[in-house]
Structure formats: C-alpha cells, structure tokens
C-alpha cells in the first residue's frame, strides 16, 4: 500500500507514522516521486490498514498495489529505472551487450575473449568462476582464481565485469571483483542468497528460473530491493517446456510484460535461451525488437573445446558479425549500440 | 531417400525405376534441382533400399535424409520456397501481413475491417467463418454466409483471403471462397483434414499445435505435400506452457529453426501467441527480427464487443500504428513491407 | 442454468417454457432427478435469463452452474453415471479392463490376443484399425478389414470391442463393428467428430488431449452429450510435459478430480501414459488406487515386432501377471475385477 | 566406472590403486557387494581410464556405468538401501508416513498435531521452522524457536522429526534438532547446500525440483552421496506443468522409475503434489500403489487459519480417516503401515 503524504508534513509527523507502522511489523519504504513524498507499507495483511492510514493527519491519499510485489512494480515507480554497472547504464537509450565465455578456463582464454568482445562493441565481460553444475563430477569453475582473472581481463579491455555468485558466504568476495553480481536461474528462489546480494553494494543481474512465472521473478527481485539494494536487472533466459529441439524456450513476451509491470531494466540471454549457436543471432535480434535493454551472449575462442556450453557459444568472428547485424536494428528501434573499436578509433 | 539421376537418362528407364519402387509400396516423387533430376523415395523402411538404388543404372548417387519428413526438408529442396496466395508472394523479400477479425460477425464489421487493414498495408484478410470453439455453447461462426462475406470484403479491398477449414467435407466450399486454407492448431494432427487440403488447389496455412514439436509440425506439412499440394506456409502461434501471464508462449526460436530445417515459408501469430493486445506490437517486431516471412494479426473495429478473442485484437488505429513501426524494422532487416494506401496513392 | 420445475406442472406449461427458450436460441434439456423434473438451459449468455426464469409459473427454483459445461457436471447429475458397453458396465462397482494391441495387424495376432486377454480377465478388446500416425509414411492401420477382424475376435472371445474413429464420415462404419467408439487424444478437440459420435448410438471413450485441461476435456464431452449421446467415458492417458524419461506424464490427480466435477466414468491408460512397458504395472495399480473405473492397456503377442507402440505393450504373460496383482488391490479398494477364465470355469 | 577387485588383493596394492587415481583428480569410492570388493572411479572423463584399469594387477574386471550418476545408481548397489531415521526404517517393508503442519506456528499447534498424527499411525513429524517463501512479505517461519518446538513435540509423541534446511550455515543447527534434513524443491540444485548436508551426520530427504528431470534429481542426490552421506531419501512432490486445476502435477511414474534407476528409498508428497485437500487421499493411495516407501502429508489443527498451505492440509480427523483407508491397501501391496495408537495399546 502506498500512502502519499501531504505537502510540507513536519518531519516529526513522518517519523511518528513510520514508527507506528514498524511497531506493528510492517516494512516501510520512504520515497519521493515528482516532488511528492510517499510511504510504501509492505506486509502480508496490509489491506486492513487502509482506512487507518487514510485518516492519518500526515497522509493525503492511499493507493493499493494490485501486485504482491511493491518496490519492483511500475505502480511504485512509474519511470524506468536506470542501473549503472561500472560506467555502463542499463535501462537507458543504449542497448548493452554483455559477452564472454560460460566459464573462465585460463588466463589466455579470458583475456583473448575480453579483447575480442570489446573490439566488437560489448560493454560488459561475462564469465563464470563459480559454476553451478548439474553433476558433482563436472568442472566446477576456477573459483577465486577465476574471479581474479576475469577482473583483470575486464580492466585490460575496459569492460565492466559480471559473474555468478552461488552462495551468501561468497558475496563479499565476488563483489570485490565484479561490477555486477549474477544470481543464476537455479538460485532465483535461493532466498538467503537474494538477501545477501540485497545487502551488497553492487548491482544484481537476476535470471528467471527455469519454470518461474513473471510474478515469482518480480517477487525474487523484491527480496533484493527490500534488503536495500535498488539496482536489479532482470534477465529472461528461457524456460523449460515440452520442446526438445532447443535447450530452453526463450519467452520473449516476458520482455515487454516485465517492462510493463516493473520499472527495472530487462535483458535477454539467447545463448541459454536456445542452447544452439546457429539460433543465437536470430533470437538476439528478436530480443532487441521485443524491447530488451541488453543481451548476454556466450563467446568462446574455440567453442569445440569449451569446458561447458560449447554448443551454444559464438566464435569471435560470429560475435562480431552478430554485432554488425544488431546495429542497424538498434537504430531502427530508436536505440544505440556501441560501435566496434576499429570504427571508434 | 533421394536418388539423383544420371544426366540424360531415357524416359523409359526413369519410368521403369518409378514403377519398380511403387510396386513395392513406396511413394515416389520426381523433381529437378539446379538442372539435375532426382527421385525421392518415401516409406517407413526405405533404408533397406540404399544399395539396390545406388546400383540401379539410372541412378548417379543416393543420399539419405536425416529427417522423418522428406518433401518438407531443406535437404530435399535447398532453396527457399515461395508460395503465392492470390497475387501475394510469401517466402520472398516481402514481409506479408495478414489481418482481420477472429470471426466474421457481420457485413459491416468485415468490410470495415478489410478497408482499414488494407489502408494500413495488410495484403491478406483473415476472418473465421467456421470457428472451432472449446464450448459447444459458444458462437460457432457464420458458416457459409461468413465465407461469402469474407470473400466479398477481400475483393472490395483488394486483399487475398485466408480462413480456417475444420473438416474434410468443407474443403471444397472453403476453397471456392478463400485464397489460402488455414488448418488451425487444434487440427494440426487431424490427418484426414491434412489429406483433404493436400488434394485441394489452394495453398495451405498450417498452424503449429499447442504442444507440437517442430518435427511433428513438419510431418503434418508432409501429409499435405505428400498428397500433392506443394504450397504450405507454416505458422508459429504459441505453445502451451506452465506460464499463466500470457495465453500461450510464443516460441520465436521456432521461426529460424523451421527455416533451417525446411524450405517452406514461416509466419508468426502474435495475437494467439500472447492473447494480450498490449503485447502484440512488441512480439510482432520480435517475430520479424527472428526472420518471419509474415504475420497474422487479429484486428476488430471494436474489440470490447468482439464475439471472440476481443482481448487480443488490435483496433484499427492500433494496427495502423503497428504497421508504421514495422516498416523501418523491415528495412533494417533487408525486407519490404507494403506502404499504407495513402502513401501509395 | 437449471430450472427445477414445480411438482405437477401441466405438460402444456412445460412445452410452452421449452418453446420459449428454444425460440431465443438456447439449447434445452429436460430431465428428472430424485423425482423432481428440471430443465437445463444452455447457451453463452444464459445468466441474463435468471430473473425471468425464476418468475416463470412453471419454475420452482433456479440454480446457476459454476462450470461452462452443464450436462457433464456433477451439479447436473449428482449420482455417478453407469455406461453400458455391450454387457459390461463402466462406472459401477466393477473395475473394467480393456486390453489388446495398439493396431490390428493380422487375424492371427488379434485372435490370439483376444483369447489371451479374455483368459486373464479383460472384458473389452481394444485394437486400432484406423491409426492416426504422426508420419504419413508410417503404417496407418488395416482400415475396414481391421475393423472386421477386431469384431470377429471380440465375438469369439466374448469381449466387447473398442476402436478409434478418426473422421465423421467413418462413424457409421465403425459403429457397426465396435461396442465403444474411441476418440483419440489428437482428436479431443475435433469438434465435428465429437458431434458425429454424439449422434451415434454407441457409447464413446473420450481421451484427454496431450495438453488439455480438465475443463477442456469436460467441454469436449459436453459436445457429445449435447448432441444427444449420454454415454461418455473419460480417459486420462498422460499429458505432455518437460519430462523426457517417460513418453507422457500420467496425471493421476485427474481421476479423482474428474470424478468430483463430473458424473461420467473415468478410466486410465498406463500404456500411453508412460510409454514404457516396465512402468505399466505400477501405474495400473496407482490408477485403480486413485479411483479409476477401468484401465486400457496395450498387449501384443510379440511386442518386439509390433508395427506400433511395441515398447509400451505387455506380453500375454505380463498382462496375466498384472491382472493377478490387480485383483487383491481392487478388493482392498472395495471393487471387483473379473477373475481369470480358468478360475471361472 | 566400477573396477571389481581380484579376491585377496593385498591392502598395499589397493592403496596404491586409490592413490594413483586420486592423484589424477578422480574421486574414488571403495565398497563391497556380495563379498566382492570394488572401486568406484568418478570423474568427467573416466572412460579414458578403462583399458588402464582393466590391466591393473589388482583389478579383476571393469564395468562402465550407463548413467552420469554413480553412487545413486542401482548398477552401483543392486539391493535396495534402507535409511534409518531415528528408529524408523525407510526402504524396507514398512510404509512410513510423515505428517504435520506446513509451518510450526505455536507450541500448542505443533504439540497437538504431533499427538494427533502419532495416534493415527504416523512415524515422523514434519514441520517447517525456516520457510522459503515466494514473497519477502510472507511469514518466514519461527526459525530456531520453531526448531526447538518441533523437536520437543516429536520427543513427546515418540516421533522422529523432519524439517527443512535452507542454507549451508544452518545445517549444524538444524541437524541438532532434526532426525531428517529436508532439502526443498526450490533448493534441489543449491549445490552448496547439497554439499553441506552431505557432510552432516543425519539422513537427507531430497525433494524433486519443480521442473527437474529424474536424472537431475539423481545427480543432486549424487552431490550428497559423494560428499560422504549415504542416507538419502528421494521425494516426488509434483512438477509444474500447463495444468491449472491442481497446484502441481504429481508424477507418479517417477516412483517406480526412480526405484528402477536407484537403490535409494522414494516417498511421495500428495499435499504439495496436488495443493487440494480433497485430492490428498486418492493420491496418497495411488502413491502407495505405485510403490512409494512412504508419504509426507500436511496436517493442521485448523487448516482455515494456517499461516501457509491451508488449502492442502488435512484436519486431524481427515488424516486419521486416510490412515485407516491406507492400511488395507498397504496389506494388499504386501507392506505394513503402523496401526493407530488406540489399537496398539
């Protein structure tokens, strides 16, 4: 529930209102939109408060939320949020491409990839150091060493860095090295992890779970927001359906629907969304046309030897060609995509 | 299995080969690609024939098909097929938009819609006369009267006409009035109907079933092709998944995947694919960017009073605005979209 | 909507009420429950009638239906319906097992199977003569010859006969030979076919579509009931999900849920429901425990050479063993299962 | 890969073999079946070892595993495993029922429920203290206080206790209070948590994820087993499908399929599997008939006021009635179910 305050309410009255609500077990969020101060009141049974709030001397009007999430909703914040990752802005006019290997495998691999994707116009380097793997016997990532390599490669290529964090106890370490903390699809409802990244001082890339509804995704984002971190980017990465001809089914209706329901930036992952290299270009274009604020794409120097996700990884040449195809499309959609380095020089 | 013939094989030898194969129960298809004649041999156990065919004096080389469908496959026909619907070509450089009401409801409704969508740049008028409805108590369409109205409205507005046929016994009647025979999602595996439209002399728009794999869709197309009708257009119209926030999940990876596997044109239906009017524009753009050869979109003079599918139908103004958004996108993708009538005049 | 009539309403008043309703386009159904006569009024916009009906002199009280289907609902007919197939009753205390090959392949095959399943306690012989096949190049069934063989084998073994009908034009022929007309999963929403079997004078076995909700299944049943055929048996045969380790996912919650929502008998098909022979016994038992009124099971003299569905077919010995396992279970559930012939003699 | 050792191999040779394998990065598991010692060798690329192992002087024969999991497979351990939870045995002839509230809400609630379910024949008390909730604003459980209440209620009623653990850092605390550590569906692929419960000295109840294949479930079990904890119980609790008429789709084919693929005990959760109280009895019976080694059922003194999962919770009377229905069924299936206390006294 949102209580819009009267103009010029004395601070004491506001403090009294907040204290009253918190004493009853509600979470309270103070904010200002278009010059008007308002109080968001969050809790399971908030509807019972409506009459009392409306009658409070500090309150001008009361508005119910139609959704179980609040901070993530457009009703709470009608304008689109822009999230800064290093020096890159997501949710603004630029379409931001994140690219890199599924997993950091070696210094040579990650530095070469960073240079190649930067040259083609990517702004953020992706790469896994802690890999959640279905089998305990599969390569689990290089861990802290992988983090350090990724961060170094990003610095050299002038790219911000995104990597996955898989447990609350790793958040501090990952936040030291990464500009953007990824919560993977399998952890979308690992609520302890959501609270931990919510307490971190880095933005969060939250991937939709394999079988999560959009409401569940937005409630997962709400965990992060409610823990105090306002910088969440949502990611559609494919859902699991009966289909067997692609690894997942990229649900592109999620892109405009999330942007209608929420003010948060939304990107798409055509690599996991299809699992098939030859489909990544078409789905990258489709995601932009659907309104995505960015893409996250797997690129590897030699996909055939990749330790994970080789079949869905683009080569350097394939990635550069895709970026060249995306630029006129971005323009036709009224957005910009970073030009390749050569043409920038 | 494909047997490429030697150059200049006498007709008698070819006839003998065909007779031999047919006598054993195979279906045989004679064709020519890039100046070389070949014979397609179709049947459940065709692999046992390989050595015998290769040794036949008329045969130059033999190639196995990797897929259970043959006539529908790219291996059979490497170049893209262009299907003519009236004077419109699908599968070529033009992006073709089909638009109109879910159901033909009245003369006024269908004529007004035909004029509006033609003015905005649509090339084919859609409208249901025989409506397959989940409930026996729902409006089932105007039947033959609806067909006649649809055809008349198409003629007046200079639009080809597509409408659904739901039973073999109706094929002749529908083919009299329509330029394109639609087989709906619920009938994708109504094999008698597929055989009936396969024997008709009008092209067929075949919609993917709610839970059909792409292989099943291509095998359904194969029923039509094997019955002698080479003109099939495939349509991705959304699949049924766990998602509850849209009517269906539009599986846009199907578009490039079908075009890789098959030479047939592929269009998308963002109206049924989402079930939500506000999502139709974003998904229309995404479908084009994914490589669709066309779109089929529901448009109604007054969606609030539509007898079916109102929530997903665009208004005339909404449709015209969408077409204006699609044009620069089509250009950026290297394709064309018919301009609005005003600018054509 | 249901209008319960006053006791002793003169026939003229009832006729006048029915005529009035039919003149306005409603379908009307007259019936009697526990000695009280009632009129079911069916149509899209029936709710607007409520006040008028309640005020009619022949009407005692009016009750809305909560469901879009009417004749199929428990609200319409609170007691369980018993459907007779030949001399067998479905929906009563007996658990009825239908068994036989996927397809009728030869006289020898179908007669041997009929004897074997009858000896083990099956009551109805299944077997396909018209086979809907995903590929046009697969075995499509023996057609009319298969029908005649199946009927003859049933007569010899004293079994009723069920077989699939795939097109309206075949209904008369199939009804001549079969005691129970099966509408397959792919045709659950082939509404012309539903109407055709609704006009036949044989009971109908209606299989749930691969991705049909229970409401859609009951609306499909409603098509048959509304066309005048009161004898419909519902069949849960597995739905298509993300799962790849079985052919389908047998949704056994559908059994009690259908029985709560509807008065119609419900059976289960563990053969198509799993696609795996080794799972058929466990799922057969589970289906009975869930409350199924019967089972339909594929049995073949030599599954390894079956022309279709071999991997899910039981051998004769496997079927007899399963029946022996089912008997104590049926007793524990308070139901009966026909004993094997040997013990009957 | 499994290397069966020759009889009477000296300890030194065994140690040398293990050291050799570990030095190359493989995980090694030593075990004995039917008097023969064998070595399980686990790792991504284990197949390359085959020839070398077969030639090793300590090795008698080498057997490949067909599955990506090893310790969880029937091939590794052909006989069924029995897991002890307190004094209760799962996987043996007894069918074990776990029952209790979704969440521990108060001392009164949990003690009353413990007494009621014990009296009806349950052996293990369930109840959540740490609740993973979709919304951050929903009741999250009583935490450590809830654990203590649950443990005390279990002791008083002579029931073992199962409760969920949601984060690695809580495992020690939960293991102090509970006899069985539950890993919930949302955490089935929280690999850090799996490793943490793998290092604990209490058995683990591992629930299938909402959209997990059985192979993924068995690989999740493999994480626990490979970390050194041999006591894992698998639980089918319903998958997410297109179905909207139940909360989830209980996939009962998973029960026999898991028991074929693995030696681990398998139970079913008809409460979450359906989400509908009225369906719990039928699905409980079906799960037993499908071969489940036990059930986990939600029971609440007053479901209408439950803080979570009220609609799927049984009342005390409903639970007792269900247990009475299950007993003859268990007997017919050749298994036992604990009689109610009254009859035991």
Q: Which run of H or of E encompasses A115?
A: helix A107-120
pLDDT tens, position by position, B79-129: 999 999 999 999 999 999 999 999 999 999 999 999 999 999 999 999 999
Task: Verify whether the Cβ–Cβ distance D252 to C328 is below 8 Å.
Answer: no
CA angle, A219 then A222 then A228, to 5° = 165
What's the average model confidence in pLDDT over C312-324? Answer: 97
Q: Which has the minimum average pLDDT: B4-8, B316-320, B339-343, D105-109?
A: B339-343
What backbone phi and psi angles, to 5 degrees, belong to B333? -90, 0
Report d(CA C144, CA C2) in Å as an integer.
43
Q: Chain C residues with CB inside 8 Å of B132's CB?
A: 189, 191
Q: What is the pLDDT of residue C342?
A: 64
**Does residue C191 carry a pLDDT above 60?**
yes
* Exposure string for C327-339, b = 16+ CB within 10 A, e = fewer: bbbbebbebebbe
The alpha carbon of residue B72 is apart from the nearest alpha carbon of chain C, in Å, by 12
What's the average model confidence in pLDDT over B245-262? Answer: 97
Q: What is the value of pTM for the model shown?
A: 0.94
Which of D72, D128, D136 should be substituted to probe chain A, the one whose Cβ sees the most A Cβ atoms within 10 Å?
A: D136
Q: Could you give the percent of chain A with pLDDT greater than 90?
A: 74
Are the beta carbons of B281 and B83 closer than 8 angstroms? no
Q: Where are the alpha helices (DSSP H) in chain B?
A: 11-23, 50-55, 107-120, 144-157, 171-177, 191-198, 214-226, 254-261, 270-274, 280-290, 316-332, 341-344
What's the average model confidence in pLDDT over C28-33? Answer: 80
Choose between A161 and C41: higher pLDDT. A161
Task: Verify whether the Cβ–Cβ distance D192 to A240 is below 8 Å.
Answer: no
Helix D214-226 to helix D254-261 angle (10° resolution) is 40
Which of A209, A242, A249, A251 should be substituted to probe chain C, the one whose Cβ sees the most C Cβ atoms within 10 Å?
A: A242
The alpha carbon of residue D223 is apart from the nearest alpha carbon of chain A, in Å, by 5
Task: Decide if the complex's ipTM is over 0.90.
Answer: yes
Task: Verify whether the Cβ–Cβ distance A244 to C244 is below 8 Å.
Answer: yes
Q: Could you give the percent of chain A with pLDDT greater than 70?
A: 99
**Does residue B344 carry a pLDDT above 80?**
no
Under-50 pLDDT residues of chain D: 344-345
The alpha carbon of residue B89 is apart from the nearest alpha carbon of chain A, in Å, by 22
For residue D245, how many other CB atoms are within 10 A of its CB?
Answer: 18
Q: What is the pLDDT of residue D345?
A: 41
Residues of D with CB under 8 A from a CB of C: 211, 213-215, 239, 241-246, 249-253, 255-257, 260, 273-274, 276, 278-279, 282-283, 285-291, 328-329, 331-333
Are the beta carbons of C171 and C187 closer than 8 angstroms? no
> Whose CA is closest to D307, among D85, D60, D102, D30?
D102
User: Cβ-count burial of C255 within 10 angstroms (0-12 exposed, 13-18 middle, 19+ buried)?
Assistant: buried
pLDDT tens, position by position, D26-69: 888 887 777 788 888 887 777 788 888 999 989 998 888 888 89
Count interface pairs A-B at CB distance under 8 A. Answer: 119
Task: Verify whether the Cβ–Cβ distance B240 to D240 is below 8 Å.
Answer: no
Query: CA dist A90 to A87, A293, D142, Å?
Result: 10, 6, 39
Q: Which has the minimum average pLDDT: A79-83, C248-252, D17-21?
A: D17-21
Which of D238, D242, D246 should be substituted to probe chain B, the one whose Cβ sees the most B Cβ atoms within 10 Å?
A: D242
What backbone phi and psi angles, to 5 degrees, belong to D51? -65, -45
Q: Which has the minimum average pLDDT: C40-49, C182-191, C219-228?
A: C40-49
The alpha carbon of residue B240 is apart from the nearest alpha carbon of chain D, in Å, by 6
What token pair was written down for A188?
A: 């979308």
Choose between B261 and B46: higher pLDDT. B261
Report d(CA D244, CA A242) in Å as an integer.
16
Are the beta carbons of C307 and C345 closer than 8 angstroms? no
Choose between A39 and B248: higher pLDDT. B248
Q: Which has the minimum average pLDDT: A66-75, B188-197, C297-306, C335-344?
A: C335-344
Q: What is the pLDDT of residue B43?
A: 78
- Closest Cβ opposite residue C211 in set B132, B210, B223: B210
Alpha carbon D191 to chain centroid, angstroms: 16
What token pair was written down for C287?
A: 């289906």
User: Pairing relation of β-strands B59-63 and B2-5?
Assistant: antiparallel
* Contacts of residue D19, Cβ cutoff 8 Å, sequence gap at least 6: none
Are the beta carbons of C28 and C16 closer than 8 angstroms? no
Report d(CA A272, CA A246) in Å as an integer.
9
Report d(CA A99, CA A313) in Å as an integer.
10
Place A343 in a pLDDT band, splitting at 50, 70 and 90: low
Helix D107-120 to helix D144-157 angle (10° resolution) is 30
| Neighboring chains of A (3 or more beta-carbon pairs < 8 A) | B, C, D
**Does residue C345 carry a pLDDT above 50?**
no
Q: What is the pLDDT of residue A342?
A: 64
Report d(CA B161, CA B181) in Å as an integer.
9
Please tell me what DSSP assigns to residue A132. Answer: -
C-alpha atoms less than 13 angstroms from C-alpha of B32 in its C-beta half-sphere: 7
Residues, chain D, total?
345
Alpha carbon B258 to chain centroid, angstroms: 12
Place C343 in a pLDDT band, splitting at 50, 70 and 90: low
What token pair was written down for D70?
A: 């090893």
> Whose CA is closest to A296, among A250, A345, A230?
A250
**Does residue C251 carry a pLDDT above 70?**
yes
What backbone phi and psi angles, to 5 degrees, belong to B216? -65, -40
The alpha carbon of residue A189 is apart from the nearest alpha carbon of chain C, in Å, by 20
The alpha carbon of residue D295 is apart from the nearest alpha carbon of chain C, in Å, by 14
Q: What is the pLDDT of residue A325?
A: 97
Residues, chain A, total?
345
Report d(CA D297, CA D122) in Å as an integer.
10
> Whose CA is closest to C151, among C124, C120, C119, C117?
C124
Q: Chain A residues with CB inside 8 Å of D210's CB?
A: 211
> Whose CA is closest to D288, among D221, D236, D217, D343?
D236
Q: Which run of H or of E encompasses A288?
A: helix A280-290
Please tell me what DSSP assigns to residue B275. Answer: -
Q: What is the pLDDT of residue A345?
A: 41
Are the beta carbons of D180 and D96 closer than 8 angstroms? no
Report d(CA D298, CA D203) in Å as an integer.
21
Per-position DSSP letters for B96-108, written without gaps between them = EEEEE-SB---HH
What's the average model confidence in pLDDT over C87-112? Answer: 97
Which of A134, A218, A228 should be substituted to probe chain D, the one whose Cβ sees the most D Cβ atoms within 10 Å?
A: A134
Q: Chain B residues with CB inside 8 Å of A287's CB?
A: 286
Q: What is the 3-state secondary structure (H, E, C) of chain C?
A: CEEEECCCCCHHHHHHHHHHHHHCCCEEEEEEECCEEEEEEECCCHHHHHHHHHHCCCEEEEECCCCCCCCCECCCCCCCCCEEECCEEECCCEEEEEEECCECCCHHHHHHHHHHHHHHCCCEEECECCCCCCCCCCCCCCCHHHHHHHHHHHHHHCCEEEEECCCHHHHHHHHHHCCEEEECHHHCCCHHHHHHHHCCCCCEEEECCCCCCHHHHHHHHHHHHHCCCCCEEEEECCECCCCCCCCCECECCHHHHHHHHECCCEEECHHHHHCCHHHHHHHHHHHHHCCCCEEEEEECCCHHHCCCCHHHCECHHHHHHHHHHHHHHHHHCCCEECCCHHHHC
Report d(CA A211, CA A314) in Å as an integer.
26
Task: Verify whether the Cβ–Cβ distance B134 to C216 is below 8 Å.
Answer: yes
Are the beta carbons of A301 and A115 closer than 8 angstroms? no
Q: Chain C residues with CB inside 8 Å of A211's CB?
A: 242
Q: What is the pLDDT of residue A67?
A: 87
| Neighboring chains of B (3 or more beta-carbon pairs < 8 A) | A, C, D
Report d(CA D304, CA A280) in Å as an integer.
50
Are the beta carbons of A125 and A99 closer than 8 angstroms? yes
**Does residue C303 carry a pLDDT above 80?**
yes
Q: In the predicted model, what is the mean pLDDT of chain A?
A: 93
* Contacts of residue A160, Cβ cutoff 8 Å, sequence gap at least 6: A85, A86, A87, A88, A123, A124, A125, A154, A179, A180
> Whose CA is closest to B286, among A236, A249, A286?
A286
What token pair was written down for C6?
A: 């006053």
Report d(CA B134, CA C40) in Å as an integer.
20
What's the average model confidence in pLDDT over A18-37? Answer: 83
Torsion of CA C163, C167, C168, C173, to 10 degrees: -50
Report d(CA B73, CA B79) in Å as an integer.
10
């Amino acid at each position: 529930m949102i209580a819009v305050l009267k103009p010029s309410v004395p601070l004491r009255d506001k403090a009294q209102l907040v204290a009253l609500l918190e004493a009853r077990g509600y979470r309270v969020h103070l904010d200002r939109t278009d010059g008007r101060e308002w109080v968001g009141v969050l809790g399971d049974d908030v509807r019972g408060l409506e009459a009392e709030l409306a009658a409070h001397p500090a309150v001008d009007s009361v508005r119910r939320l139609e959704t179980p999430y609040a901070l993530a909703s457009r009703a709470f914040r009608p304008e689109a949020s822009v999230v800064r990752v290093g020096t890159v802005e997501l949710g603004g006019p630029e379409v931001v491409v994140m690219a890199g290997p599924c997993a950091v495998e070696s210094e040579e691999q990650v530095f070469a990839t960073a240079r190649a994707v930067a040259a083609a116009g990517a702004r953020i380097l992706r790469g896994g150091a802690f890999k959640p793997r279905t089998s305990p016997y599969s390569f689990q990532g290089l861990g802290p060493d992988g983090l350090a390599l990724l961060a170094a490669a990003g610095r050299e290529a002038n790219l911000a860095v995104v990597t996955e964090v898989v447990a609350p106890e790793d958040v501090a370490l990952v936040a030291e090295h990464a500009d953007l903390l990824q919560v993977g699809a399998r952890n979308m409802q690992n609520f302890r992890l959501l609270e931990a990244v919510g307490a971190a001082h880095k933005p969060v890339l939250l991937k939709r779970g394999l079988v999560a509804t959009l409401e569940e995704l937005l409630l997962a984002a709400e965990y992060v927001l409610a823990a105090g971190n306002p910088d969440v980017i949502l990611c559609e990465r494919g859902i699991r359906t009966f289909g067997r001809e692609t690894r997942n089914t990229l649900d592109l209706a999620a892109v405009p629907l999330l942007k209608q329901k929420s003010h948060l930036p939304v990107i798409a992952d055509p690599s996991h969304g299809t699992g098939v290299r030859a489909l990544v270009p078409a789905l990258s274009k489709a995601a932009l046309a659907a309104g995505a604020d960015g893409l996250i794409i797997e690129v590897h120097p030699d996909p055939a030897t990749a330790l994970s996700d080789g079949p869905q990884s683009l080569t350097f040449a394939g990635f550069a060609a895709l970026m060249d195809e995306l630029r006129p499309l971005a323009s036709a959609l009224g957005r910009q995509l970073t030009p390749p380095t050569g043409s920038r020089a």
